[in-house]
């Protein structure tokens, strides 16, 4: 393999087989491949739930096929942790195969930003654009308003919980109370800097303060098994680590702004320090976005 080839990131292809993390609860692990999420499959006696699809129709088809293999002829339900392409833009293959359930904020955010995100992601390189060929955004069959919904899969009730704006406007965790399993989407990642999608003026719908509040609520729920949006399945320690990271980044950024530094100066001075502090975390490019987001909101 040439140096150039080995430097290129692997294609964002969902290729894993399901791994059972609790009785009847499966994850298709992301293998730490960029733009591949941890997708979930939860079996009840009467129905099965799929959490996140991967990006584009081929990845969605892989997740659907694995879900069908596990669920047999039980009806499928699809929900998403949030609208971002690598989590939900494979939903089209589920349109006639599953009942699609989002919260109202997810539905609205997808409708408002979906097409622009397809364009943005196509710009990330050929292997990403390839997965987005023939992508089509689909609307949910059912949405819920308010902070929560329950789905009875038969012998197992799943709670969908949303607290509004954080990583996106419609972040949703999927909690299995009996097994104490939580799917958290991009509210937290294992050993990766949290993704702060702060792209003003196109999309500035991320709020670090509210995100910190949401993580406190997640920690209060005390899930035993935590499935992050990306990275290894782990425990609630990952949520505490991300909260501590965001709190420190917010406070240090605000202090430097009060000292009169520009946003560029804060990034230049603070980002390398933060990078060193978390030297085993991946995706350090998100430090800069985090600093700029906190800087612009700091008083
Ligand atoms: Zn995301």
The alpha carbon of 196 and the centre of ligand 1 are apart by a number of angstroms equal to: 8
What average pLDDT does the segment 56-73 reach? 98
Beta strands at 98-103 and 142-144: parallel, antiparallel or unpaired:
parallel
Residue 102 has pLDDT above 60, yes or no: yes
What's residue 1's pLDDT?
Answer: 44
The alpha carbon of 195 and the centre of ligand 1 are apart by a number of angstroms equal to: 7
% of the chain surpassing 90 pLDDT:
96
Question: Within 10 A of 96 (CB to CB), how many other CB atoms are there?
Answer: 7
Task: Give the pair of three-digit tokens for residue 15.
Answer: 């290729």
Q: How far is CA 13 from its chain centroid? A: 16
How confident is residue 8, by pLDDT bands cut at 50, 70 and 90? confident
How confident is residue 9, by pLDDT bands cut at 50, 70 and 90? confident
Transcribe the chain into DSSP letters.
--HHHHHSPPP----PPPEEEETTEEEE--TT-TT---EEEEE-SS-EEEE---SSHHHHHHHHHHHHHHHTTS-EEEE-S-S-HHHHTTGGGGTTTEEEEEEHHHHHHHHHHHHHHHHHHHTT-HHHHHHTTT------SEEE-SSEEEEE-SS-EEEEE--SSSSSTT--EEEETTTTEEE-GGG--TTB------BTTTB----HHHHHHHHHHHHHH--SEEE-SSS--B-THHHHHHHHHHHHHHHHHHHHHHTT--HHHHHHHHHHHHHHHTTT-B-THHHHHHHHHHHHH--
The alpha carbon of 168 and the centre of ligand 1 are apart by a number of angstroms equal to: 7
The alpha carbon of 164 and the centre of ligand 1 are apart by a number of angstroms equal to: 14
What's residue 299's pLDDT?
Answer: 80
The alpha carbon of 258 and the centre of ligand 1 are apart by a number of angstroms equal to: 30
The alpha carbon of 186 and the centre of ligand 1 are apart by a number of angstroms equal to: 5
The alpha carbon of 202 and the centre of ligand 1 are apart by a number of angstroms equal to: 16
How confident is residue 2, by pLDDT bands cut at 50, 70 and 90? very low
Residue pLDDT, tens place only, 258-276: 999 999 999 999 999 999 9
Residue 6 has pLDDT above 70, yes or no: no
Residue pLDDT, tens place only, 177-202: 999 999 999 999 999 999 999 999 98
Residue 4 has pLDDT above 80, yes or no: no
Q: Answer for the pair 195, 189: CB distance below 8 angstroms, yes or no.
A: yes
The alpha carbon of 163 and the centre of ligand 1 are apart by a number of angstroms equal to: 15
Q: Answer for the pair 43, 70: CB distance below 8 angstroms, yes or no.
A: yes
What average pLDDT does the segment 106-118 reach? 97
What average pLDDT does the segment 51-70 reach? 98
Residue pLDDT, tens place only, 68-101: 999 999 999 999 999 999 999 999 999 999 999 9
What average pLDDT does the segment 163-174 reach? 97
The alpha carbon of 255 and the centre of ligand 1 are apart by a number of angstroms equal to: 28
Q: What is the mean pLDDT of the chain?
A: 96
Surrounding ion ligand 1 within 5 Å at CB are 84, 186
């Amino acid at each position: 393999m040439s140096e150039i080839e080995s430097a290129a990131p692997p294609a964002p292809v969902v290729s894993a087989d399901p791994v059972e993390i609790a009785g009847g609860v499966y994850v298709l692990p992301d293998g730490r491949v960029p733009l591949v999420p941890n997708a979930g499959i939860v079996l009840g006696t009467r129905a099965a739930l799929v959490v996140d699809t991967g990006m584009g129709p081929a990845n969605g088809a892989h997740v659907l096929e694995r879900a069908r293999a596990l669920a047999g002829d039980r009806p499928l339900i699809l929900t998403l942790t949030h609208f971002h392409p690598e989590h939900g833009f494979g939903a089209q293959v589920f349109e006639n195969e599953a009942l699609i359930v989002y919260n109202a904020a997810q539905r609205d955010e997808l409708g408002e930003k979906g097409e622009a995100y397809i364009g943005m992601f196509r710009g990330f390189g050929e292997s990403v654009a390839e997965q987005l060929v023939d992508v089509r955004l689909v609307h949910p069959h059912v949405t819920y308003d308010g902070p929560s919904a329950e789905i009875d899969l038969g012998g197992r009730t799943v709670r969908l919980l949303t607290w509004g704006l954080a990583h996106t406007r419609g972040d949703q965790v999927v909690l299995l109370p009996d097994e104490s399993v939580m799917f958290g989407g991009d509210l937290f990642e294992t050993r990766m800097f949290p993704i702060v999608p702060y792209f003003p003026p196109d999309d500035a719908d991320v709020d670090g303060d509210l995100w910190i509040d949401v993580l406190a609520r997640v920690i209060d729920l005390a899930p035993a098994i935590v499935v992050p949006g990306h990275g290894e399945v782990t425990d609630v320690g990952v949520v505490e680590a991300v909260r501590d990271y965001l709190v420190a980044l917010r406070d240090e950024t605000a202090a430097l702004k009060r000292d009169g530094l520009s946003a560029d100066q804060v990034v230049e001075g603070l980002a390398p320090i933060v990078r060193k502090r978390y030297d085993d975390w991946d995706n350090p490019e998100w430090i800069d976005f985090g600093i700029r987001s906190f800087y612009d909101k700091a008083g």
